[in-house]
Structure formats: C-alpha cells, structure tokens
Amino acid sequence: MDLQNDTSFQALDVAVLSIALDPAEEQQAMIEQYGITVPMLIDANRAVSEAYDVMQWAVGTGEPGHTFILVDESGEIAWIRDYGAPQNGGLMYVPIADLTQQIEASLAG
C-alpha cells in the first residue's frame, strides 16, 4: 500500500499490477485485509512468472520471490529486480524511495 500511495512513485506515471500464484479466493482475503487497490493477476499456471523469468528467484516453496518488473510499451522487460531471494538480500519490504529512484533511472534510459 505504501507504494501505491507514495506521491514520488505516482509521479513516475507507471501502472502497478500485482501477480500471485495463490488462488483468487486467498488473494481476495488479502485484498480486503490490507486494503489493496492495485489490480491483481492470478498466475495459477505460472505462465506469466515464467515468461518474465522470475522463477529463477523462486523461494523454497517454488513460488516467485519479491520481484519488481518494469515492462515497456512493447511488453519487453525494461528493468527487473528481485529483492526476496537470499542472494539478493531477502527483503520483503523495499523502501519506496529506493524503488522509485531505481525505476526513475531506468525510465530515463
């Protein structure tokens, strides 16, 4: 929720989409519990996760880690960063200022 409410991030004018493998019913419960307002995509067959190669950072349960992807207008990856994998710091929360700065730098090209 911090990300979607941050004015610096909003100024980047990028769309946010959350992708999860969990069933829609479980996601709906989380949406309601945490007041999530970004669109959710259920990737039950892992097609999207595999297409964008985030499974390389899968956690011990075989699920994608905490990965952010910036996709350009043509559908290509412009920037990707995984934070959840142990080799990448094992973060489950990324400071918004850090994330915004990295995405902004990628957008600037």
What is the mean pLDDT of the segment spanning 67-89? 85
Confidence grade of residue 1 (pLDDT, cut at 50, 70, 90): low
Task: Give the sign of the dihedral formed by CA 32, CA 53, CA 16, CA 89.
Answer: positive
Q: Domains along the chain?
A: 2-108 (3.40.30.10)
Using one digit for the tens of pLDDT, what is the confidence trace for 85-95?
Answer: 777 778 878 88
- Residue range 17-72, pLDDT digits in tens: 888 888 888 888 888 998 888 888 899 899 999 999 988 888 778 888 788 898 88
- Cβ atoms 77, 70 nearer than 8 A: yes
